[in-house]
Amino acid sequence: MKINQKRMIQTFMELVSIDSPSRHERHMADWLTIQLRGIGFAVCEDDAGSIIGGDCGNLFATWKGDVNLPPLLFCAHMDTVQPANGKRAVLDPDGTIHSAGNTVLGADDLSAITAILEAIRTIKESGKRHRSIELLFSVSEETYCVGASAFDFSKVKAKESYVLDYEGAPGQAAIAAPSILQFQAEIFGRASHAGFAPEMGVNAIAVAAHAIAQLKTGRVTEGLTLNFGKIHGGLLTNIVPDYCVVEGEIRSFDHHAALVQAERVQNAFQAASDEFHAMLSFSNECLVQAYNVSESSTVAQRYFDICRTRGYQTESVQTLGGSDNNVLAAHGITGIVAASAMHACHSCSEYTTVDELSQLTEIVIDLMLDLRP
């Protein structure tokens, strides 16, 4: 089945030209709704926008195919990271597509949306029998998947999903990703004059420093990381600071281990606060929950089989990044995160290539046409 490469490139260029920073995906969703309805999808938008403070909800679209087989879910996100305004795709003679240099390209995740659109157009034109397809185009994936987290999953019939949102070569897919916990430690000390009466003060910054020094940071163990990412406190150099707030995150492939590490962090801050007679307020939140899909699962095997048949080297990886697949997994949908024609993501050097976009489109077509149960 031959894809229309010219149309695919046009779609990608057009998608890039539509600004869609996180929480501002309105124009993107409107454009995609028109395209999907034109192909024959039933499309609805949820109210995630109002829940997360954005101007747009998640798009959920369905396309009926073979009634004897359960549908497959394909998921991609509509938002891009900053700098995201005024994006323009530049196609080089060698087939590389990059931004004009002052913004990201947005191949993360517009390559995926392009491939999905081109795949379903090609399949429709061929008249071939295909799986029933469900699409979830989410908002605000880049802000810890808050868009997908606000989605009502009762609409989804698929039990298997392909999240197209991974930086790698065709044939690579993430089958495991971590829990991500974010924490905040607020330390309340006592202000005093730094020169006249330092003995009267309780230095909140010193308490924080003491606590942090007790903890191993970075890669704590294989598969578990701890980072203190933000610290704020103090007013003037001649005042003993009475307040300091430290924020950080923990990632672990083992959800329980992440919770235990959060407890360890809290205990260190509590001990330091007790020692220096400060007060502590500690909170943590699980942003996404870990998943681990077996390599021998149908959903993984289908992808790897197809890639092998097309001559790609296959590789299953564990990633320390979260994606919408974490959210799908938490709702009982088994999925993998497949390589999606994007490189140097989250930078102004981000790029894709016409070859990789075509390869991704062909893989998506094969997945949609796979009529094995």
Residue 185 structure tokens? 């430690």
End-to-end CA distance of the chain: 22
Residue 246's H or E segment, with its range, is: strand 243-252
Binding footprint of Zn ion, residue count (CB under 5 A): 3
165 contacts Zn ion (rule: CB under 5 A)? yes
From the CB of 168, what's the least distance to Zn ion, in Å?
Answer: 12
Give SS3 for 116: helix
Stretch that binds Zn ion, among 104-112, 187-195, 210-218, 293-301 (CB under 5 A): 104-112
CB of 87 to Zn ion, least distance (A): 15
Q: Which residue, 46 or 108, is less far from Zn ion as judged by CB?
A: 108
Minimum distance, C-beta of residue 350 to Zn ion, in the bound complex (Å): 11
Residue 223 CA: distances (Å) to CA of 116, 176, 177, 214, 267 = 32, 11, 10, 20, 22
d(CA 190, CA 279): 10
* Cα separation values, 305 from 67, 73, 201, 342, Å: 23, 18, 66, 22
| Closest CB to Zn ion among residues 162, 269 | 162
CB of 143 to Zn ion, least distance (A): 11
Alpha-carbon distances, residue 253 vs 75, 219, 224, 321, 353 (angstroms) = 22, 13, 7, 10, 32
In the complex, minimum distance from the CB of residue 246 to Zn ion, in angstroms, rounded to a whole number: 28
CB closer to Zn ion out of 109 and 186:
109
Distance CA 248, CA 63 (A): 42
Looking at the Cβ atoms of 79 and 242, the one nearer to Zn ion is 79
Query: In sequence order, what are the beta bridge partners of 283?
Result: 184
Burial of 40 (0-12, 13-18, 19+ CB in 10 A): exposed
Tell me the window of 149-157, 159-167, 180-188, 228-236 that interacts with Zn ion (CB under 5 A).
Answer: 159-167
Per CB under 5 A, the list member of 25, 46, 79, 109 interacting with Zn ion is 109
- Span from 103-111, 236-244, 331-339, 354-362 in contact with Zn ion (CB under 5 A): 103-111
Report, in Å, the least distance between residue 316 CB and Zn ion.
19
By CB under 5 A, tell whether 108 contacts Zn ion.
Answer: yes
Q: Which is nearer to Zn ion, 70 or 321 (CB)?
A: 321
Which segment (47-55, 100-108, 175-183, 285-293) binds Zn ion by CB under 5 A? 100-108
- Maximal C-alpha separation, the chain: 85
Least separation in angstroms between CB 18 and Zn ion: 16
The single residue listed with the structure tokens 């779609």 is 11
Nearer to Zn ion, 323 or 358 (CB): 323
Which one of the spans 109-117, 121-129, 152-160, 348-356 is the region binding Zn ion (CB under 5 A)?
A: 109-117
Q: Which residues of this chain interact with Zn ion, rule CB under 5 A?
A: 108-109, 165
